[in-house]
Amino acid sequence: MNIYLKELKAYRKSIIIWSISMILLIFMAFEKYDALALGGEETANFLEIINQMPKFLQAIMGISNFDITTPIGYSAVMYIYLVLMGSIHAGMIGAGIITKEEKDKTAEFLMVKPITRFKIVKNKMLAALTNVVIFNIITFVSLLLVLIWKNVFTYNIISDLGLLMLGILFVQILFLMIGFSFALMKKRYKQVASLTMVILLSSYFLSMIIDVVPNLKFLSVLTPFKYYDAKGLLDKGLNIWYLLLTIILIIIFLIIGIKKYQQRDLNI
C-alpha cells in the first residue's frame, strides 16, 4: 500500500480549494494596483490617508514599510496575508494527516498492515510536505501571472518574489511540523488543530506588536513571522541564524513527535 500516493489523493480536493482561494485573493488584491500605479492626486491622497493611520493598523495591513505604488512593494504588502494563509493551510494539514486515521476509525486497519509506525509517519510527512510545496509554487506562479496581466512584470522582480516565496515556504514548513508533531503526540484532531492555531495566531499577533513597539524586537525569536518578514528579506535576504533556528526547531518537533507516537496507544 503506497501511503504517500494515498495521502496525496486524499488531499487532492483540499489543495484545489486552497489554491483557488489563494489565486482569487491575489488577483482580487491586484485589482486595486492600477489606480495606485498611475500616480496623481488620487494616489497622493490615498498615501496620505495611509500615513495618518495608527501604527498598529498599518502593521496589521502590512503597509508601513513599502512603496505600494511599485509592483514589488505592493507584493510585499500582500506578503503578510500570503504567509498567514499559507501557514494556516500547512498547520491544518500537519494537524490532520495523522489524527484523521483515529478520527475516522481507520487507524486499526492501517496498523495491521506489514508496515512500521515510522514508515507510516515518514510517508504521511512527505505527503504533507508535498502539499505545502505545491501550494507555495501555485502562489508564486499566481503572483507572476498577475504581474504579467497588469503589464508590470520584469525579470528583475523574479529574484525578489523568489525570496518572499522562500520565506513563506520556511514559515509554512515550520507550522506544518508543529501541527504534525502535536498530531503525533495527541489523539484528538480538535485538540491538535486548536493548539496549532493558537500558537500560529499568537505568533502572528506578536509579530504585529513588535512592528508597533520596536523596543520589543528582542521577542522576534518567539515568532516565525519575524524570522522571514518581507522587509528583512528584501533588504538583507535570508537571515542565516533564523534559518538555522528554523531547521533546529523542525528537527526537535519531529524527534519529540515521533518518539511519543512510537510509545502512545492509538485511539481505535
Summarize pLDDT for 152-169 with one digit per residue, the tens: 888 888 999 999 999 999
Q: Is the pLDDT of residue 40 over 80?
A: no
Report the b/e string of 219-236 with b at 16+ CB within 10 A: ebeebbbbbbbbebbbee
Identify the pLDDT of residue 43.
Answer: 65
- Of 51 and 121, the structure prediction assigns the larger pLDDT to 121
Identify the pLDDT of residue 165.
Answer: 95
Q: Is the pLDDT of residue 99 over 80?
A: no
Q: 33-37, 51-55, 99-103, 122-126: lowest mean pLDDT where?
A: 99-103
- Of 251 and 103, the structure prediction assigns the larger pLDDT to 251
| Residue 265 DSSP class | P
Q: Is the pLDDT of residue 189 over 90?
A: no
Amino acid making up residue 243: L
For the residues 175-187, what does the mean pLDDT come to?
Answer: 87
The model's confidence at residue 38, banded by pLDDT at 50, 70 and 90, is low
For the residues 136-165, what does the mean pLDDT come to?
Answer: 90
Identify the pLDDT of residue 252.
Answer: 93
- Mark residue 151 as left, alpha or beta (left: phi above 0; alpha: psi -120 to 50; beta: remaining): left
pLDDT, averaged across the chain: 84
Q: How far apart are CA 139 and CA 25, in angstroms?
A: 10
Q: Which has the closest alpha carbon to 142: 36, 20, 16?
A: 20
For the residues 39-50, what does the mean pLDDT come to?
Answer: 66
Q: How far apart are CA 37 and CA 91, in angstroms?
A: 35
Identify the pLDDT of residue 177.
Answer: 94
For the residues 80-87, what does the mean pLDDT come to?
Answer: 94
Question: Which residues make Cβ contacts (< 8 Å) with residue 225, sequence separation at least 6?
Answer: 80, 83, 84, 87, 171, 203, 204, 206, 207
pTM flag (> 0.95) = no
The model's confidence at residue 106, banded by pLDDT at 50, 70 and 90, is low
